[in-house]
Amino acid sequence: MVHFLNNNLKVRWSFLLCLTFFYLKSQSFQNLVPNGSFESFTNCPITSGQIFYASPWTAPLCNSSDYFNACSNQMNVPQYAGVSSSYPAYLNAVEGQAYAGIALFQQSEYREYIQVNLTSTLTTNTCYYAEFYAANIQYNKYCSNNLALAFSPSQNTAQSSLSCTLINLSIGINKYGNPILKDTVKWHKICGIYNALGNESYLTIGNFLPDNQIDTLNLYPPGTTPYYSIPNSYMMIDAVSVFSINPSGILPWTYNDTTVILGDSVYIGNTMGGDFNPQWFTIGGSYITTNAGIYVKPVATTSYVVNYTVCGTPRADTIKVTVIDDSSVTENELRKMQFKAFPNPTKDELIIEFEMDFIKPREIKMLDVLGREVKTVYIQNKKQKINLQELNNGVYYLQLQSSNGLKITKKLVKE
């Protein structure tokens, strides 16, 4: 389907895909989302449509949203790679042993949502941070975009399973650029900053846009058969949080210093959007560009400055990129990191080959030219074939990071 921008949608959020969230656990900040990780429950789920067991969560408009918990044989959350008896879901929870599940879209604007009453109403002109995690379930044929979080002053009451229709709410947050969420083995973090109106008492997660504004993608390569093949996108949801922040104080993300090998390039920044307006400068004050992040290729250790705003408050951060000459790294350390990616340019298939054998799986991130993560590849073998059919033609970057922060980045062209 073709995605159309909704110009009438007035969003009060600065969209963020946060790189580091380091103080959610702090007792100084109160999560306004009760049972945000769905760990508390009144009964173990025994079939679909039982999100209400994770009280006080409900399924607005229709009682059809699902609840997964490791306590259940029928709606299981596996602690290791396994298959539940009802759904082949291979993903562990972000926190604990439970999460929710919703149909993000289905034909004729069928929708499922999860909703909760916040522990207190948001305060006028107060800055809030919110985040949740999402991942595709593995039995569906399709994935899509438009997963979002919205606030509202009143609840949408549950009715019947025949009322799973579109809810008309203004989008609060969605992932930067609103991409199709492809991953089935890794959770996507979706987060943002919100300047409250002052009457918001409920939080709802789902797809708030009509069918003609949805982009979809077939998750299964040609010749394979999914468990559930009708046009349907289904997402699991976990670890939902909302709390107030001081736009002049400590923020729930940080711009991280990084390391790069001489002659290589690296992406710095994050994927913030909306009215965040990040402007990049050299340490000497020369303007570079306005973007969420930038690729840099310094020949010596260099620092960069980014200016931005949070709920109208101006901020600035400095990011240091340490350049490592090959001669300062042991030959063995470099060899462990070195890999080939071919053919390049490529069409629908890529081969990743490491120079040395390894035991633990390697994680290679694929980033677009804006630094947005579009695919994560888990390399199990020294030489492994990767399917790229779901990616659009264009320029991408393959990025591998070692445990000590050293990054290897390779440019890839898909045509």
Mean pLDDT calculated for residue range 248-269? 84
Q: What CATH class does 329-414 carry? A: mainly beta
pLDDT at 1 over 70: no
Mean pLDDT calculated for residue range 25-51? 85
pTM: 0.71
| Structure tokens that stand for 413 in this block | 């062209």
pLDDT at 231 over 80: no
Span of 191-205, 206-220, 253-267, 396-410 with lowest mean pLDDT? 396-410
Q: What is the mean pLDDT of the chain?
A: 80
Q: What is the pLDDT of residue 151?
A: 95
Q: What is the pLDDT of residues 96-115, one digit of tens each?
A: 889 999 999 887 888 999 99
If phi > 0 it is left, if psi is from -120 to 50 it is alpha, else beta; for residue 117 that is beta
Residue ranges of domains in the chain: 13-244, 258-324, 329-414
What band does 222 get if pLDDT is binned at 50, 70 and 90? low
Q: What is the pLDDT of residue 4?
A: 26
Q: What is the pLDDT of residue 200?
A: 96
Q: Which fold has domain 13-244?
A: Jelly Rolls (2.60.120)
Quickly count: other Cβ atoms within 10 Å of residue 108's Cβ: 7
Residues 6+ apart with CB under 8 A from 225: none
Highest mean pLDDT pick, 231-235, 328-332, 357-361: 231-235
Quickly count: other Cβ atoms within 10 Å of residue 71's Cβ: 14
Q: What is the pLDDT of residue 289?
A: 92
Mean pLDDT calculated for residue range 342-368? 84
Of the candidate CATH numbers 3.30.200.20, 1.25.40.10, 2.60.40.10, 3.30.300.180, the domain formed by 258-324 belongs to 2.60.40.10
Asked if the domains 258-324 and 329-414 are classified in one and the same CATH topology, the answer is yes
Q: Alpha carbon 326 to chain centroid distance? A: 34
